[in-house]
Chain A
Amino acid sequence: MADKKKKNLPPEAQNYQAFQEEREVKRPVLLNCIKAFLVGGFICFIGQLISTFYIYYFHFTEQTAGNPTTATLIFITMLLTGFGIYDRIGQFAGAGSAVPVTGFGNAVISSAIEYKTEGFILGVGSNMLKLAGPVIVYGVFSAFLVALVKTLLIKWGVI
């Protein structure tokens, strides 16, 4: 990846990096993908179960069952994070447990727990979204861009 960067380095460093890379343990990308697929799929399966439960036993439609399902999943994540289980799942599953909404919940909750020792305002308050903040910022920003594009396309009569 760092071919561009490497050019600026002295040859000694370039040689060393090549030497080092030969011995570096690589991330098992394919295995990680399979693990992520299975665990991520399992989390979504649980989500589907919860969603179906809400449709059958409460006054929710497929449309409106999404919100309570998300809330329930985040609640479960909160318990798992607090008991120190979620980080172990994360080490095993990688993206599988980071991409679903549970990963977002874990990022917020773990930060909140971590910074409790610095107090509730400057600790928990200001650090809670330290990891999850970028998700919100770029989520809102990309939603804005997509909405802008759609508005323009409609205005020009493309769609």
Chain B
Amino acid sequence: MLSGHQTWIFENKPTIISTGVVGGPFEAKGNIPKDFDILHEDMWLKQDSFEKAQQMLMEESCQIALKKSNIEKEQVQFFISGDLINQITPTSFAAKTIGIPYLGIFSACATSAESLALSAYLINSGGAEYILSGTSSHNATAEKQFRYPTEYGGQKPPTSQWTVTGAGCALIAKEGGGPVVTSATIGKIIDMGITDPFNMGGAMAAAAVNTIETHFKERNVDPSYYDLIVTGDLGHIGREVSLDLLKQRGLNIKDAQYVDCGLTIYREGQPVMAGASGPACSAVVTYGHFLNKLKRGEIKRMLLVATGSLHSPLSIQQKDPIPCIAHAVSIESGSDGL
């Protein structure tokens, strides 16, 4: 169970039995369109508002995950999820539609790893048999809340990131075939005094480094144990900063081993500046792209390190630094693979 100060080891092997991944039009033109279950052509998803569209994304991804697993939704005990928007309403409204007992959580772009870690813990300890864990984000809702109106012609600096439109959901079960969640490290808030909300990658890299370091120490494994270390949405700058810092701290991580969801989802040439971000970024890329790799046997073990910057528009205006967090969850191929 608890190993060290902030790491859980899941000895009962909670399994990801199915996933549902939904994306928007911008993601369809990206690097990994084949890893999505549904890709929407319309940013609005035929809804009245972008917030409702985000709710639809979440609902759809849950439905797909349930459908693929042949589990009835009455069998699922909990739905653990969250998003970026004020008081996580899109997720709560989606939970209303889905009708499963619901735990709403928030850790910005690290929500995917937080919900996965909590779900695995609950299942591991016998608190549930099936849990739906996921998160969603929508480019237009995030822009509206954190930045400027969508059509405003402001110039974004090269450090800024593009919020993913999409939702990713995983159905975690006590037993069944599929990738196994083996351990999780809950991160601390790391505040390095960075106040620029257009450089979240640079701010979050410190949190990622802290969590990765702690994870290896407390799980007592070497970086070579994992085929891939997948960070959430550090982007170009955050990835470089964190990798250099990890190397400086004496962790032997290879360049090819250290990948970022925010750099995987989009193609070169899409106007995303430093990379993708948003809660859906890590959820969509992990539950779609990387779990598919795991199932195909291309990789055996991966460590998901989802990073989040927990600021609000208000805290930025009041010149507060950005508090950052990173949660790590290790996903390994099932017993047949090992």
Contacts and interface: CB of A to CB of B under 8 A. Distances in A.
Interface of A: 2, 5-6, 9, 12-14, 16-17, 19-20, 23-28, 32, 81-82, 84, 86-91, 93-95, 97-98, 103, 106-107, 109-111, 113-115, 117, 131
A25 B48 contact: no
B222 interface: no
B193 A27 contact: no
Given A13-B191, A17-B193, A24-B202, A117 B48 contact: yes
Contacts of B193: 5-6, 9, 13-14, 17
B153 A89 contact: yes
A27 B151 contact: no
B127 interface: no
Interface string B244-263: 11000000000000000000
B100 to A, nearest CB: 28
Nearest to A115: B149
B50 A25 contact: no
A113 B153 CA distance: 13
A82 B153 CA distance: 12
B241 interface: yes
B44 to A, nearest CB: 10
Given A110-B148, A117-B49, A86 B241 contact: no
Interface stretch (B59-67, B155-163, B277-285): B155-163
Contacts of B244: 19, 23
B126 interface: no
Given A24-B199, A25-B237, A16 B192 contact: yes
Interface of B: 48-51, 144, 148-159, 191-195, 199, 202-203, 205-206, 236-237, 240-241, 244-245, 271, 274
Contact of A97 (B153, B159, B237): B153
A87 B202 contact: no
B237 A91 contact: no
Nearest 10 CB-CB pairings of A with B: A90-B153, A114-B149, A94-B155, A110-B151, A117-B49, A110-B149, A110-B152, A25-B158, A16-B192, A9-B193
Given A24-B199, A110-B148, A90 B155 contact: yes
A20 B152 contact: no
Given A26-B158, A90-B155, A131-B149, 15 more contacts: A17-B193, A19-B245, A20-B205, A25-B236, A27-B157, A28-B158, A32-B155, A87-B153, A90-B152, A98-B154, A106-B151, A106-B153, A111-B149, A114-B152, A131-B148
Specify which of B153, B192, B245 lies most central, judged by the most chain A CB atoms within 10 Å of its CB. Answer: B153
A131 B148 CA distance: 8
Given A9-B193, A13-B193, A117-B50, A25 B159 contact: yes
B274 A25 contact: yes
Interface of chain A: mostly helix, strand, loop or mixed:
helix
B151 A86 contact: yes
Nearest to A28: B158
A110 B283 CA distance: 30
Contacts of B271: 91
Nearest to B158: A25
Contact of B150 (A5, A16, A28, A110): A110
A74 B206 CA distance: 45
A107 B152 contact: yes
A103 B157 CA distance: 18
A122 B148 CA distance: 18
Nearest to A106: B153
Contacts of B205: 20
Nearest to B149: A114
A20 B50 CA distance: 34
A91 B156 CA distance: 6
B202 A20 contact: yes
A109 B49 CA distance: 18
Nearest to A107: B152
Contacts of B199: 24
A90 B191 CA distance: 32
11 contacts: A14-B193, A17-B192, A17-B194, A24-B159, A25-B274, A95-B155, A98-B153, A103-B153, A106-B152, A111-B149, A114-B144
B144 to A, nearest CB: 6
B234 to A, nearest CB: 11
